[in-house]
Structure 1
């Protein structure tokens, strides 16, 4: 049996109540809930929140909110792994013992059920792996990145600054969308960003962090273009 945990804290500082702010006509969290529903993979889709407002929106879109997140897991220093593990343990105690759990971010309007399915299937097939999560490639070689210094710039990796892009290894980063894991591995000390994980590679046009107002505006423009392309 499979469990989805969507962490959605109410105390976002840079964009207040970001998780339920209207994004292209729907609360942002609705996209994550609906992608999980459309995948057909989950026996329960739980939103882990400390906010009554977020809970009401989550319930409206068909997720479950069987508990309010404890205060010690609701500050801005708490990572998603302890929150996910808390949800797994609650599910074990009150509902069923899930074999797999997927932590899905509430701020992922480009999340598509096809990639959730792909990650799950790959994790099922590769029994030596513990996790599967979404990544995407950097648009520019990180080996040629610069830092600002003394009102000027300097290369962070001087040996690479003159190299051609095609001669440098392509680099990837966490897409911030979903993190599949076997529940026993979630509750273990195994790290997600390690050899234990399977990368699910997404195209860059389906990835956008939303941490600032500028990010939000960019994401809405990207989403409008994405919807036009799909239609």
Structure 2
């Protein structure tokens, strides 16, 4: 069994320019995911960064990852992540069974997360697994200037809500054969629950970045 990690880190970011190499704590944002993969080398055989950016490439190589140059055709704002993952698989030699997707915008992960998730992935014979977290908020929509509750009734206590979950982006494990068919999360994907403060981090703008920096400083 060969398992690789892929970290997609293109250069274009409008809300937070060059965010993948912006320093978070001691390291560029991208590097946190590289180091996490390296710390799980009992599971991950090789680490690949796919990018269209020379500075990202330089940083990834400096910290020991292999780099796959991503074509501009696969680097647009609307291009799905699976295209970049598929391109990596088509660009490397040797058979790959599993892909661990680590998004650089989710740089903080519980250290034992991959160990625990991969054990379930194997035990359940999953074709894919992704991390989710429970949300305790009261959701609704606005229609005709009226608020319509979605997951509760007016007056219901928060602790009595029916559990509802969100995809937190911390970790994905998928069979390479699925990715080659343009799928990351299958219909039978295992939702691995992670209720940790790190699951609230997904860096898109400066406020997200500062929040991540705060959590990092508090959880060293």
Asked if Structure 1 and Structure 2 have the same fold, meaning a TM-score greater than 0.5 normalized by the shorter chain, the answer is yes
Report the equivalent of 1:90: 91
Deviation at 1:167, TM superposition (A): 2.7
Give the Cα–Cα distance (whole angstroms) in 1 for the partners of residues 169 and 98 of structure 2: 19
State the TM-score, normalizing by the size of structure 1.
0.85
Q: How does 1:37-56 map to 2 (within 5 A)?
A: 37-40=38-41, 41-56=43-58
State the TM-score, normalizing by the size of structure 2.
0.89
Give the conservation status (yes or no) of the 8 Å contact 1:110–1:206. yes
Report the equivalent of 2:205: 212
CA RMSD of aligned residues (A): 2.1
Give the conservation status (yes or no) of the 8 Å contact 1:36–1:113. no
Report the equivalent of 1:70: 71
Q: How does 1:14-163 map to 2 (within 5 A)?
A: 14-40=15-41, 41-65=43-67, 67-91=68-92, 95-127=93-125, 129-142=126-139, 145=140, 147=142, 154-157=147-150, 160-163=153-156
Give the conservation status (yes or no) of the 8 Å contact 2:100–2:172. yes
Aligned residues: 217
Moved over 6 A (4+): none
Deviation at 1:186, TM superposition (A): 2.2
Give the Cα–Cα distance (whole angstroms) in 1 for the partners of residues 143 and 206 of structure 2: 23
Please give the secondary structure, in 2, of the residue aligned with 1:3: strand
Comparing 159-168 with 30-39, which one deviates more in the overlay? 159-168
Please give the secondary structure, in 1, of the residue aligned with 2:66: coil
Report the equivalent of 1:181: 174
| 1:158/1:178 CA distance change after superposition, 3 Å | closer
Gaps of 5+ in 1: none
Give the Cα–Cα distance (whole angstroms) in 2 for the partners of residues 2 and 100 of structure 1: 5
Deviation at 1:204, TM superposition (A): 3.5
Gaps of 5+ in 2: none
Deviation at 1:113, TM superposition (A): 4.2
| 1:149/1:111 CA distance change after superposition, 3 Å | farther
